[in-house]
Amino acid sequence: MTDSKYFTTTKKGEIFELKSELNNDKKEKKKEAVKKVIASMTVGKDVSALFPDVVNCMQTDNLELKKLVYLYLMNYAKSQPDMAIMAVNTFVKDCEDSNPLIRALAVRTMGCIRVDKITEYLCEPLRKCLKDEDPYVRKTAAVCVAKLYDISSSMVEDQGFLDQLKDLLSDSNPMVVANAVAALSEINEASQSGQPLVEMNSVTINKLLTALNECTEWGQVFILDSLANYSPKDEREAQSICERITPRLAHANAAVVLSAVKVLMKLLEMLSNDSDFCATLTKKLAPPLVTLLSSEPEVQYVALRNINLIVQKRPDILKHEMKVFFVKYNDPIYVKLEKLDIMIRLANQTNIAQVLSELKEYATEVDVDFVRKAVRAIGRCAIKVEPSAERCVSTLLDLIQTKVNYVVQEAIVVIKDIFRKYPNKYESIISTLCENLDTLDEPEARASMVWIIGEYAERIDNADELLDSFLEGFQDENAQVQLQLLTAVVKLFLKRPSDTQELVQHVLSLATQDSDNPDLRDRGFIYWRLLSTDPAAAKEVVLADKPLISEETDLLEPTLLDELICHISSLASVYHKPPTAFVEGRGAGVRKSLPNRAPTAGTAEPEAGGEAMVIPNQESLIGDLLSMDINAPAMPAAAPTTSNVDLLGGGLDILLGGGPAEPAAGGATSLLGDIFGLSGASLSAGVQIPKIVWLPAEKGKGLEIQGTFSRRNGEIFMDMTLTNKAMQPMSNFAIQLNKNSFGLLPASPMQVAPVPPNQTTEATLPLGTHGPVQRMEPLNNLQVAVKNNIDIFYFACLVHGNVLFAEDGQLDKRVFLNTWKEIPAANEVQYSLSGVIGTTDGIASKMTTNNVFTIAKRNVEGQDMLYQSLKLTNNIWVLLELKLQPGNPDATLSLKSRSVEVAPMIFAAYEAIIRSP
């Protein structure tokens, strides 16, 4: 029978039963009882009441039973320090046992029990174990010193344990040496002074290198990491260390290989670049890195992230290995994208033909993200390898001819960069680009096309017409496109002033008077003043020669790259961020850097100097569409106007044909109404949707959460009922929400008193709407993490649409009508409602209470029609038409919005409101 039997019981008085079994005279019964106790402890049951009975079981020769008791002690000693003292004598006695396994087990357990009273008794046994005749005991004691340092650093220093630990570096057993190195590294990181407590010297390093060949793989990793922190005194010593470390590159464990690469990359800085040894070592580094790419995908990804750093620092290492980075059909997307990045970094004149044919093939794949990256890669190759530019442009034109929308858009973005790199060379293709103008719907592609039209306006006969077509929906455009449009029209005016005066006045008016974006407004004012005061100066500013863009737009900053090279084979090398960016506390602030370069190698200087000209890759400037639009509009200062009412579609004022005075007045009235409390609807609570179970007790280790969402006095609340169905109290509650479509986040910390077993408590959490945004499926999906003293629990729930309806969602009649006409028919969705009870007036009143405002009511051929508007908290406007026939329980609800993806959520909320009492 398996060990699962210990996790099941049919006895009612479980603790009592276990207590009697623990005190049984038979050893086997006693061992079975301890196993049951450990099983209960493992699943989160509180068995601390059995502490004295379990401690009594320590007096045994049975190693298995002793291990189980020690495991129990480690878990409960902190909560029962006074009772833990009972075990001290046994620990001290076990530290002198004839069996080395028991001696090691005793000293390890004493080190894990973080209780001051026990720590005092640990010193003497630990001192003996550090000098024990058995290497297993010594290596365990070495790690115990590091644990003791974490509890009481002063005690370790006063008792002389550091000196004993240094002595262990000369131990005859390689595993003892490895553990001593690991302990010293840990102590160095934890040191308050920031100064290393143990200075490495050539004698110590020699001992470590001797132990390196014989210890286990993880021991080798510890030793290599320690060697990486050592700076040899001269080039000869660096060369000697390299020779002794190089065999580690052939190790089967990827961690050992990467740790060896880290040490060698660091030592290469001390070697002359033109020496034969350096060239040989560079060749030896390539095969182990290539071998790592035949591992499973996860290891491949870690290897690729590290290779990315190595290639940026020393591209020569892998310059002949381009083929291993070609993408395989079954590679996961994260591996594909990383390989693509390295391919571009390794691209040069000799292999560019091979790279381009690969990239062209990738551009016909089915994975959209990968195809986009592949098209961008072709553009980056054109910029990096000048002789191949013409071939790259030809490839991009072939891809544009495929008419695949996202391929065309990416191609236009990279062609804009190619124009910047090679001015007056490839402009003949502009006419081909202009043919695809109507298909562009992504902000970056539209902005790139607008830039091309503005930059080469003198070569495009109908440039004014093309730009004018963009201006028709100026308010609907993304901020990036608006800024490019403004600059492009001003460029066109400066090149052809006679026939574009009206156009430039129009765009300046849109930018300065009708926009809420401060960047756009400020740029508009600067251009306006320049043009009105000194057109010649405007020409010099706007039409000035632009700096050529860098071939590598995403290289890491040199000092950061040097620091990350020192962190190869750690998380920092995967994130491409220094440890201080994602680790808090000790060790995070210790900044590492490469040693100074050998005097003969002066090749890095020009590269470092060239960094000033690097223009950031636009990929880093553009978030996803939903994210940008949610954050861009809503500006409280502009509340009286309606220029930013539509999240994805632009302001309703543009639909009025330049007459915003009336809507502005309407907006102001409603604002005053809100200030003086005139609109009673905004202060009343909307429909209350009953709570449902979000987190069942079996998934929450006894914690059950039921919840719902509500809107009260203009605020969103998350109302929860927390039930503790576990055997122990629950406390220290905290909550966190993942990024979501509406930027919801807790407006204040979760306030919940401790919940005793079998008790229930209520919790209400106010939510704000200004958090980070990420589009979810469905849109109203919300991922939640709740933490308490037991664990962290994750669940997802759906936010009720009605709580996202804002109080200022009432439109003026004329604005409603014009907007309804302007929104295309494709953006209209219909929904059938059945079992509708009540009159149109009753429904209108119920809807108003929930911030769905009735704009007008009509009766057409015996049918009642309600025209309604609502605004979501992220400024998406939704227009509704409800058709009812008196006496008929079936109704039709039509929805129009520039963002129709909100429709399912709106329909669900509407149905909940209409069916509410």
Q: What is the mean pLDDT of residues 766-773?
A: 90
Q: Tokens for 743, please give them.
A: 């930027």
309, with CB counted inside 10 A (0-12, 13-18, 19+), is buried
For residues 656 and 715, the model is more confident at: 715
Region 583-591 average pLDDT: 57
Q: How remote is the C-alpha of 350 from its chain's centroid?
A: 37
- Collect all residues with Cβ–Cβ distance below 8 Å to 555 and sequence separation of at least 6: 312, 561, 611, 614
Topology classification of domain 805-915:
TATA-Binding Protein (3.30.310)
Pairwise CA distance, residues 742 & 779, whole Å:
8
pLDDT, one tens digit per residue, over 712-728 is: 888 999 999 999 988 88
Highest-confidence segment of 56-70, 123-137, 179-193: 123-137
Give the span between the Cα atoms of 482 and 510, in whole angstroms: 10
User: What's the whole-number mean pLDDT along residues 391-403?
Assistant: 87
Sign of CA dihedral 91, 93, 95, 101: negative
Q: Predicted confidence band at 895 (pLDDT cuts at 50, 70, 90)?
A: very high
DSSP output for 9-49: ---SSHHHHHHHHHT-SSHHHHHHHHHHHHHHHHTT---GG
Q: Hunting for tokens 């502005």 — which residue is that? A: 664
Greatest extent of the chain over all pairs of C-alpha atoms, in Å: 108
DSSP calls for 593-644: -PPPPPTT---HHHHHHHGGGPPPPGGGG---HHHHHHHSS--GGGTTS-TT
- Give dist(CA 230, CA 228) in Å, integer: 6
The position carrying tokens 């469905």 is: 778
Residue 574 has pLDDT above 80, yes or no: yes
Q: Is the pLDDT of residue 409 over 50?
A: yes
Nearest 10 degrees: Cα torsion 901, 905, 911, 917:
-150
Strand order through the sheet with 863-871: 828-833, 891-896, 877-884, 863-871, 853-860
CA atoms lying within 13 Å on the CB side of residue 115: 22
Helix (H, G, I), strand (E, B) or coil at 241: helix
Question: Is residue 301 within 8 Å of residue 342, measured between CB atoms?
Answer: no
Integer-rounded Cα Rg, in Å, for the chain is 35
- What is the mean predicted confidence (pLDDT) over 804-813? 89
The 10 Å Cβ neighbour count of residue 732 is 10
Confidence band, pLDDT 50/70/90 cuts, at residue 618: very low
Q: 413 in the Ramachandran plot: left (φ > 0), alpha (ψ -120 to 50) or beta?
A: alpha
Q: What's the mean pLDDT when you consider all of the chain?
A: 80
Q: At what angle do helices 405-421 and 389-401 cross, to 10 degrees?
A: 160
Q: Which residues contact 2 (CB under 8 A, 6 or more apart)?
A: none
Place of tokens 């209350």: 688
Tell me how many degrees the CA angle 694-695-697 measures, rounded to the nearest 5. 140
Q: What value does the mean pLDDT take over residues 632-637?
A: 35
pLDDT of residue 8: 57
Q: Which of 114-123, 317-326, 874-883 has the lowest mean pLDDT?
A: 114-123
Residue pair 410/445 in contact (Cβ under 8 Å)? The answer is yes
For residues 504 and 489, is the Cβ–Cβ distance under 8 A?
Answer: yes
| 67/731: higher pLDDT | 731
At residue 799 the predicted structure's pLDDT band, cuts being 50, 70 and 90, is very high
* Arithmetic mean of pLDDT, 278-298: 89
Give the pLDDT confidence score for residue 681 in this predicted structure.
36
Give yes or no for a contact between 835 and 742, defined as CB atoms under 8 angstroms apart.
no
- Residue 631 identity (one-letter amino acid): N
Nearest to 456 by CA among 417, 484, 492, 409: 492
The answer to whether residue 225 scores a pLDDT higher than 50 is: yes
Residues 199-225 have a mean pLDDT of 83
* Token duo for residue 559: 């000092």
Q: 628 or 70, which is more confident?
A: 70
pLDDT of residue 883 exceeding 50? yes
Mean pLDDT for the stretch of residues 255-279: 87
Q: Which is more confident, 373 or 860?
A: 373
Strand partners, 773: 740
Phi/psi class of residue 688: alpha, beta or left (left: φ > 0; alpha: ψ in -120 to 50)?
beta
Confidence of residue 693 (pLDDT cuts 50, 70, 90): very high
What is the dotted CATH code of the domain comprising 692-803? 2.60.40.1150
Burial of 57 (0-12, 13-18, 19+ CB in 10 A): buried
Q: Is residue 611 scored above 70 in pLDDT?
A: no
Residue 423: how many CA atoms within 13 Å on its side-chain side? 8
Check pLDDT > 70 for residue 619.
Answer: no
The residue among 904 and 73 whose pLDDT is bigger is 904
Q: What percent of the chain has pLDDT over 90?
A: 13
Residue with tokens 């509704």: 880
Reply yes or no on whether the pLDDT at 620 is more than 80. Answer: no
pLDDT at 587 over 70: no
Per-domain boundaries in the chain: 442-545, 555-581, 692-803, 805-915
Please report, as a single letter, which amino acid is at residue 907. F
The answer to whether 184 and 226 are in contact (CB under 8 A) is yes
- How do beta strands 792-798 and 781-787 pair? antiparallel
